[in-house]
Amino acid sequence: MKRFQMEVGCFLLITSGLFYNHAYAEDDPVRKVNNYVDEILSKLVNESMKSQSLGIPDVYKEDFRLSYGKLTGFTNLYRHGDCKLKMENNISRAIVEIDVKDVAVEVTYEKKLFVWLKGNAIVSVEDVIAKMDISSKDGKALLESFEIIRFGNYKIKEIVGPGSILNKVLNSIINNV
């Protein structure tokens, strides 16, 4: 996880430096930043992100909980649309959307029926789009916000935990959906 955080940190630093130093000197700054983001994403996928996982925030609802989630399988990572650039008060900002294809989510769940049922689930997700707002001043990058804006086309691959009979029933249901 630390290496993944280092990679994201390097991405932020390089991106901020690039759009701060080069984007505003070019005729088409958006195209220039798009090209740099594409290059960085390509290098991240080729180097180490394939074996990395990204933690997912816990979800707590009244009678349902998801925790210890992780997203794995970063083999298809792309820029989604054009980057958006702003320059205000010597602070440059880039809004970058990243599209991740064909990832897996592993999570621990708890569901309250009459009692709390607890187990693990594996879900395949065809498409995740994340939006990052990155600011840069004096060569220092800051991730202002990170938001998942699309979590689409998912399929539950496996559910375990409630008991062997219920596991068989649940898995037969999800395999026929």
Neighbours of 35 (CB within 10 A): 15
Which bin fits 138, alpha (ψ -120 to 50), beta or left (φ > 0)?
Answer: left
pTM of the model: 0.63
More confident residue, 123 or 11: 123
Q: Which two tokens stand for residue 129?
A: 């789009």
Q: Which residues contact 107 (CB under 8 A, 6 or more apart)?
A: 56, 66, 67, 68, 69, 70, 120, 121, 123
Contact yes or no for 98/41 (Cβ under 8 A): yes
Q: Output the CATH code of domain 8-175.
A: 3.15.10
Contact yes or no for 106/138 (Cβ under 8 A): no
pLDDT value for 95: 92
Sequence spans of domains, the chain: 8-175
Q: Which two tokens stand for residue 4?
A: 């993944």
**Exposed/middle/buried for 157, CB within 10 Å: 0-12, 13-18, 19+?**
middle
Task: Give which of 96, 97, 119 is closest to 106, Cα–Cα.
Answer: 119
pLDDT band at 5 (very low <50, low <70, confident <90, very high): very low
**Exposed/middle/buried for 10, CB within 10 Å: 0-12, 13-18, 19+?**
middle
Q: Which residues contact 155 (CB under 8 A, 6 or more apart)?
A: 123, 124, 174, 177
Q: Which residues are paired to 56 by β-bridges?
A: 69
pLDDT at 76 over 80: yes
The arithmetic mean of pLDDT across residues 21-25, rounded, is 50
Q: Which residues are paired to 117 by β-bridges?
A: 111
pLDDT value for 107: 92
Widest pairwise Cα distance in the chain: 65
Task: Give which of 118, 113, 146 is closest to 131, Cα–Cα.
Answer: 146
pLDDT band at 96 (very low <50, low <70, confident <90, very high): very high
